[in-house]
Amino acid sequence: MTVVTPTGEVPNDYVRIESADDLTTVQGPLLAPLALAGAAVEARRNDRLGLSVANDTKVDAIAPFFDAIDLIAVEFPSFSDGRGLSLAKRLRRAGFAGRLRASGPLIADQFAEALACGFDEIQLPETMAARQPVAQWLAAKDIVTEHYQSGYGADRSILQKRLAARKG
């Protein structure tokens, strides 16, 4: 699994676990399904904890764990399913300040969208990463330099820039 960030590829330091037993046997940072969130927090490990959530999860089901986790991985079942983008937007609005990861077979052309909606990184299956090397992701991210929508991404929208230009 490859993890792509706006500055390039980074190692994936989280190990995905499937059952409560793994909480004690697996070392290092964990990525636990939401169903195990309670148990994982309970286990009070000293390592970092991430939660993997389906793209139709309600924010209310995740928010109670915000303080105990430092990563949320939103699962994209396919690249053409945009629900994860709205979930990211809502998670940020609800105050989640940790790492937000889009996980699944996304394509490079979606990198800018994902970042604008609040994601920090994309975790790709190897087959996808092999076809679409990181260089493509970085190039695709910047090909359209401006956006009309306000409230997406850190930089100002075209509408806001026009306003600023008018004010001189």
**Are the CB atoms for 20 and 45 separated by under 8 Å?**
no
What minimum distance in Å lies between the beta carbon of 147 and another protein?
7
Under rule CB under 8 A, residue 168 binds another protein = no
Of the pair 16, 89, the CB lying nearest another protein is at 89
C-alpha 58/C-alpha 87 separation (Å) is 8
The single residue among 30, 71, 117, 129 that binds another protein, judged by CB under 8 A, is 117
From first CA to last CA, the distance across the chain in angstroms is 48
Identify which range of 19-27, 41-49, 61-69, 134-142 contacts another protein by CB under 8 A: 134-142
C-alpha 136/C-alpha 123 separation (Å) is 15
Under rule CB under 8 A, residue 139 binds another protein = yes
Under rule CB under 8 A, residue 156 binds another protein = no
Under rule CB under 8 A, residue 136 binds another protein = yes
C-alpha 82/C-alpha 113 separation (Å) is 10
What minimum distance in Å lies between the beta carbon of 32 and another protein?
23
Q: Which amino acid is at 68?
A: A
DSSP state of 82: T
